[in-house]
């Protein structure tokens, strides 16, 4: 096992040079952008939701969704305060300064604040409602002390000039959230196994965890170099981490972005890559989001029910809300039905992107250098829709799990990360190339960066589990 020295971290930028493969990369990017004609009723173009695997930087297109199945439901506005837990529909109190706003369908039966309150485990201390406060001690690792950082999140390597975004920590309103302690964490997980299930943002968190632990220990990588499913073993601590690449959480056809047709998505069928291994783990962290805006065909009971952004006119055109809700319900059904699974499932909620100044393909970027205050922004439209779906499906899964001892917990990344437009790679995930244009990444998170706070949350959530 590789141990790291305790020397003071420093950044290690790499000399700028253009890759000889740059022209081929640019051509691949151009050819893999899905080209579809969209109906004129879509008024707003959502930002690029980049999904990068180990070998490519591939864009996907997206459009807003406003109903659960493409069927013209009545729209209405709903607000949720981001204060200390006081929620109201009383129009006489006026518009709150801190709120979540959504253009919603009638598919949600309860107010957002009520839904969230019901899935919180600890009403005395909501870890996920608070503010970002200065933290001069950060960061706790760098690209010079951790080799688990992928290039497209290695902002310091690619010349990001500011470091102020590294000097913040999350402070809940009603209590304190300790900074991640690698010694304490390894004690908490002694003899345990942890799995991340999801897309590249889930992998982003896993790599953050490995880097935070690198101050005391490095794991043995037991996975194949080209395999997106990862497994790491901390032998001395009898602890292992796995990453299951499952961006839709359910069974899919081949997920090849080079294909010129939409992906096949089987919304009522389990993804065997991870659902057959659930019982092996003590903790599952499940998440999904950005892939649900890619062109897809929807199958239920092995029958094609509709599609998202497909070119055919003789198929029902639905929205991502249709697939998102069904995917989480199927994933939670797999967990509740897993034989001999006695562990804890954490739902890590949707982390919003922060494109400003235009959509992803029109120069949209994320150039802010400090966090938002709560009163400066709000969660709305598709991001809030997805967040509410997650909360509702978590509530349903928890109710179903009571029959067989299933344990489901809320890991709310949405509220804290809404306030961090400064933490994305932007253009600092690759070197500039002459006569080449790359989309800015306002979806993933720099390492080190704000996503390290997710493991502050994880440590505290595990401590709470040990007290139950």
List the beta bridge partners of residue 284: 195, 345
Span 127-136, pLDDT tens digits: 999 999 999 9
Question: For 227-242, b where at least 16 C-beta lie within 10 A, e where not — what string?
Answer: ebebbbbbeebebbbb
Under 8 Å between Cβ of 410 and 120: yes
Alpha-carbon separation of residue 296 from 38, 239, 322, 335, 380 (angstroms): 14, 37, 11, 24, 24
Confidence category of residue 358, pLDDT binned at 50, 70, 90: confident
Banded pLDDT at 447 (limits 50, 70, 90): very high
Greatest alpha-carbon pair distance for the chain in Å reads: 64
pLDDT at 142: 96
Within-domain flag for 11: no
| 198-205 mean pLDDT | 97
Q: Is residue 9 part of a domain?
A: no
Separation between Cα atoms, residue 118 and residue 120, nearest integer Å: 6
Integer Cα distance of 317 and 69 in angstroms: 8
Could you tell me the two tokens for 341? 């699974």
* pLDDT of res. 67: 30
- Three-class DSSP category at 179: coil
| Strands 220-221 vs 250-252: parallel, antiparallel or unpaired | unpaired
Q: Determine, yes or no, domain membership for 13.
A: no
58 pLDDT above the threshold of 70: no
Cα(161)–Cα(198) distance, integer angstroms: 31
Query: In this predicted model, what pLDDT tens digit does every residue of 237-246 receive, in sequence order?
Result: 999 999 999 9
Instruction: Return the residue matching tokens 């969209």.
Output: 38
d(CA 105, CA 18) in angstroms, rounded, equals: 49
Residue tagged active-site, from 126, 412, 422, 441: 441
Residue 1 lies in a domain: no
Q: Which residues is 304 bridged to in the sheet?
A: 299
pLDDT category at 121 given cuts 50, 70, 90 is low
Whether 223 is covered by a domain: the verdict is yes
8 is a domain residue = no
Q: Tokens at residue 380, please? A: 């709305």
Task: Answer whether the bond into residue 448 is a cis peptide, omega within 30°.
Answer: yes
User: What is d(CA 146, CA 390) in angstroms, rounded to the nearest whole number?
Assistant: 33
Nearest to 152 by CA among 375, 415, 443: 443
What confidence tens digit (pLDDT) does each residue in 371-390 have? Answer: 999 999 999 888 999 999 99
**The tokens 């893999």 sit on which residue?**
32
pLDDT for the residue numbered 255: 82
What angle is formed at CA 205 by the lines to CA 2 and CA 466, rounded to 5 degrees?
85
Say if 52 falls within a structural domain.
yes
Catalytic residue among 152, 237, 290, 444: 444
User: Is the backbone peptide bond immediately before 139 cis, with ω within 30 degrees of 0?
Assistant: yes
Residue 424: name the closest of 123, 148, 49 by CA: 49
Asked if pLDDT for residue 155 goes beyond 90, the answer is yes
Contact 173, 119 (CB under 8 A): no
Give the total residue count for the chain.
468
pLDDT at 467: 87
Q: Which of 59-63, 105-109, 151-155, 195-199 has the lowest mean pLDDT?
A: 59-63
Residue ranges making up the domain that contains 245: 22-467
Which residues share a beta bridge with 104? Answer: 76
Dihedral over alpha carbons 49, 50, 51, 56 (to 10 degrees):
160
DSSP 301: T
Give residue 434's pLDDT band: very low, low, confident or very high (50, 70, 90): confident
Residue 411 has what DSSP assignment?
Answer: E
Q: Which of 448, 360, 427, 353 is nearest to 152 (CA)?
A: 427
The yes-or-no answer on residue 200 being catalytic is yes
Above pLDDT 90, what percent of the chain? Answer: 65
Q: What is the pLDDT of residues 282-326, one digit of tens each?
A: 999 999 999 999 999 999 999 999 999 999 999 999 999 999 999
Residues in contact with 384: Cβ distance below 8 Å, sequence separation at least 6, in sequence order: 80, 100, 101, 102, 104, 112
pLDDT of residue 108: 63
Residue 441 annotated in active site: yes
Output DSSP code: residue 308: E
The set of residues, in sequence order, having a beta carbon less than 8 Å from that of 72 and lying 6+ positions away, is none
**Any residues with CB less than 8 A from the CB of 105 and at least 6 apart, and which?**
66, 67, 68, 73, 74, 75, 76, 321
Per-residue pLDDT at 160: 96
Scan for tokens 């120069």, then name that residue: 363
- The chain-wide mean pLDDT, for the chain, equals 81
Which of 37-51, 100-114, 295-309: highest mean pLDDT? 295-309
pTM of the entire predicted model: 0.79
pLDDT computed for residue 174 by the predictor: 86
Residue 118 is predicted with a pLDDT of 72
Task: Note the pLDDT of residue 254.
Answer: 86
Residue 444 annotated to the active site: yes
Res 258: pLDDT = 75
Q: Which residues contact 14 (CB under 8 A, 6 or more apart)?
A: 157, 158
Q: In terms of DSSP bridges, do strands 296-300 and 303-308 run parallel, antiparallel, or are they unpaired?
A: antiparallel
Residue 312 exposed, middle or buried by CB count within 10 Å (0-12, 13-18, 19+) = exposed
Q: Which pLDDT band holds residue 361 (cuts at 50, 70, 90)?
A: confident
* Domain assignment present for 355: yes
Q: Which of 193, 200, 353, 426 is catalytic?
A: 200
Count structural domains, the chain: 1
Segment 16-44 mean pLDDT = 39
Number of CB atoms found within 10 A of residue 20's CB: 7
């Amino acid at each position: 096992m590789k141990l790291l020295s305790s020397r003071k971290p420093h950044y290690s930028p790499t000399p700028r040079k253009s890759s000889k493969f740059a022209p081929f990369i640019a051509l691949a990017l151009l050819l893999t952008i899905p080209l579809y004609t969209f109906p004129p009723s879509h008024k707003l173009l959502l930002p690029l939701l980049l999904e990068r695997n180990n070998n490519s930087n591939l864009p996907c297109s997206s459009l807003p969704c406003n109903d659960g199945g493409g069927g013209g439901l009545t729209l209405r506005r709903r607000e949720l305060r981001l204060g200390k837990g006081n929620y109201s529909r009383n129009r006489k109190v006026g518009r709150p300064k801190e709120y979540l706003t959504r253009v919603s369908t009638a598919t949600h039966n309860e107010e957002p604040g009520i839904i969230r309150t019901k899935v919180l485990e600890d009403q005395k201390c909501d870890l996920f409602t608070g503010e970002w406060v200065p933290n001069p001690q950060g960061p706790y690792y760098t690209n010079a002390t951790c080799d688990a950082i992928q290039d497209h999140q290695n902002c310091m390597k690619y010349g990001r000039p500011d470091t102020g975004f590294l000097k913040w920590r999350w402070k809940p309103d009603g209590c304190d959230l300790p900074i991640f302690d690698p010694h304490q964490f390894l004690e908490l997980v002694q003899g345990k196994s942890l799995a991340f299930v999801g897309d590249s943002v889930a992998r982003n968190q896993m790599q953050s965890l490995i880097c935070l632990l690198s101050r005391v220990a490095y794991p043995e990588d037991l996975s194949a170099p080209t395999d997106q499913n990862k497994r790491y073993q901390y032998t001395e601590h009898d602890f292992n981490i796995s990453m299951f690449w499952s961006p839709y959480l359910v069974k899919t056809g081949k997920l090849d972005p080079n294909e010129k047709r939409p992906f096949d998505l089987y919304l009522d069928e389990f993804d065997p890559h991870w659902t057959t291994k659930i019982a092996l783990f003590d903790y599952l962290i499940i998440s999904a989001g950005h892939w649900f805006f890619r062109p897809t065909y929807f199958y239920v009971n092995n029958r094609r029910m509709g599609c998202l952004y497909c070119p055919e006119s003789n198929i029902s055109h639905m929205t991502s809300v249709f697939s998102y809700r069904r995917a989480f319900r199927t994933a939670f059904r797999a967990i509740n039905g897993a034989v001999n699974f006695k562990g804890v499932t954490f739902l890590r909620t949707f982390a919003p992107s922060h494109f400003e100044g235009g959509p992803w393909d029109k120069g949209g970027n994320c150039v802010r250098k400090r966090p938002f205050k709560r009163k400066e922004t709000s969660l709305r439209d598709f991001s809030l829709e997805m967040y509410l779906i997650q909360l509702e499906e978590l509530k349903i899964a928890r109710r179903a799990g009571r029959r067989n001892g299933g344990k489901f917990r809320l890991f709310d990344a949405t509220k804290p990360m809404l306030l961090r437009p400064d933490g994305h790679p932007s253009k600092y995930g690759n070197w500039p190339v002459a006569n080449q244009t790359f989309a800015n990444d306002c979806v993933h998170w720099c390492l080190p960066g704000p996503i390290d706070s997710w493991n502050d949350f994880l440590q505290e959530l595990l401590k709470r589990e040990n007290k139950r």
